[in-house]
């Protein structure tokens, strides 16, 4: 999996306001039980980054299990956002399912 950001803050994507204020968005992924990371561990809320891609491994029974993307703005960053201001940006997650 790879993460692409319209706006980035080093290791995470960001949203920006028309005034140029930016706020960090943490992007995480959780996979079905039959998909693991390189260490063979279940993938739950694993952070994605625009710096490095991640590889996950399906077992023989992976089937069509659901995966979930989580987009979070840390509480300390929300507190600094200007009320009534619109923040926007594009976060693209590339899934290469070629096996």
Tokens of 44: 């739950």
User: What's the whole-model pTM score?
Assistant: 0.87
Query: Which residues, at least 6 apart from 50, have a Cβ–Cβ distance to it below 8 Å?
Result: 3, 4, 5, 8, 11, 12, 13
14 touches 22 (CB < 8 A): yes
Distance, in Å, from the CA atom of 99 to the CA atom of 96, rounded to the nearest integer, reads: 9
pLDDT tens for each residue of the chain, 99 residues long: 999 999 999 899 999 999 999 999 999 999 987 889 999 999 999 999 999 999 998 876 656 678 899 999 999 999 999 999 999 999 999 988 764
Secondary structure of residue 98 in the 3-state scheme: coil
Q: Tell me how far apart the alpha carbons of residues 82 and 36 are, in angstroms, rounded to a whole number.
A: 39
């Amino acid at each position: 999996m790879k993460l692409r950001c319209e706006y980035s803050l080093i290791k995470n994507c960001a949203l920006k306001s028309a005034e140029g204020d930016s706020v960090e968005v943490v992007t995480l992924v959780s996979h079905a039980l039959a998909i693991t990371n390189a260490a063979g561990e279940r993938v739950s809320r694993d952070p994605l980054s625009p710096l490095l891609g991640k590889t996950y491994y399906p077992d023989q029974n992976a089937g069509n299990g659901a995966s979930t993307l989580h987009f979070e703005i840390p509480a300390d960053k929300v507190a600094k956002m200007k009320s009534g201001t619109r923040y926007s940006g594009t976060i693209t997650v590339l899934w290469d399912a070629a096996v």
